[in-house]
Amino acid sequence: MEIKSANFIKGIRGSDDILNDLRPQIAFIGRSNVGKSSVINSLVGTKKALVKSSSLPGKTREINFFLINNDLFFVDLPGYGFAKIKSVEKEKLRKLILWYLLSEEVKPKRKIVLIIDFKVGPSEFDLEMINLLKENNFDFIITANKIDKISKGARLKQLKEISRKLGTENIVLFSAKTGDGKDELFEKLKIKN
């Protein structure tokens, strides 16, 4: 599928009619500042950023829905694991993420893109999220963003280390900056670019 249109629909913090829309949802989740918004912008390919991104972690505080080609939603979830926000706010965000993932209120079929930082590797929070997704039988794709931050020669070593920590070699290497990995991620999502 070629992405011809992508529009921000709304941000939610709980129950909403959009959850009853039966169009499929592809949810992007990951640690704060891992580049979720940048990955979505890269996939959509518009010159003007569809999703606001920031160098400051923890800016996304709601679940944002973007309608793609009038066929499906890209869903940008808040980041997890950011240490510099108040623990009360951190707990609210954690509950919001878990609510979206586990609530029976969310009707349509969901696929999850779990984004990790390729340079940093998986965090404790990433490993916890992977376990949660596995325990609840989610269809998810691990995407290692920011491969452009490591020299091409060092990438194989880093990939082996990440694969060892995650217990899988099924990882999409991605760069929101250069577009590397875009076709592979589209293929895994069953979206033709």
Query: In CATH, what number is assigned to the domain containing residue 18?
Result: 3.40.50.300
Per-residue pLDDT averaged across 75-84, rounded? 82
Is residue 143 included in any domain, yes or no? yes
Is residue 52 included in any domain, yes or no? yes
CA count, 13 A, side-chain hemisphere, 33: 11
Is residue 193 included in any domain, yes or no? no
> The whole model's pTM is what?
0.91
Mean pLDDT of the chain: 89
Per-residue pLDDT averaged across 71-80, rounded? 94
What is the model's pLDDT at position 122? Answer: 97
Is residue 27 included in any domain, yes or no? yes
Question: Max Cα separation, the chain?
Answer: 49
Q: Which domain holds residue 27?
A: 6-188
Instruction: Give the residue from 12, 10, 51 showing the smallest Cα distance to 28.
Output: 51
Site of tokens 């709980």: 14
Counted domains in the chain: 1
Per-residue pLDDT averaged across 97-104, rounded? 91
Is residue 156 included in any domain, yes or no? yes
Is residue 87 included in any domain, yes or no? yes
Is residue 1 included in any domain, yes or no? no
Q: Is the pLDDT of residue 192 over 70?
A: no
Q: What is the pLDDT of residues 127-152, one digit of tens each?
A: 999 999 999 999 999 999 999 999 99
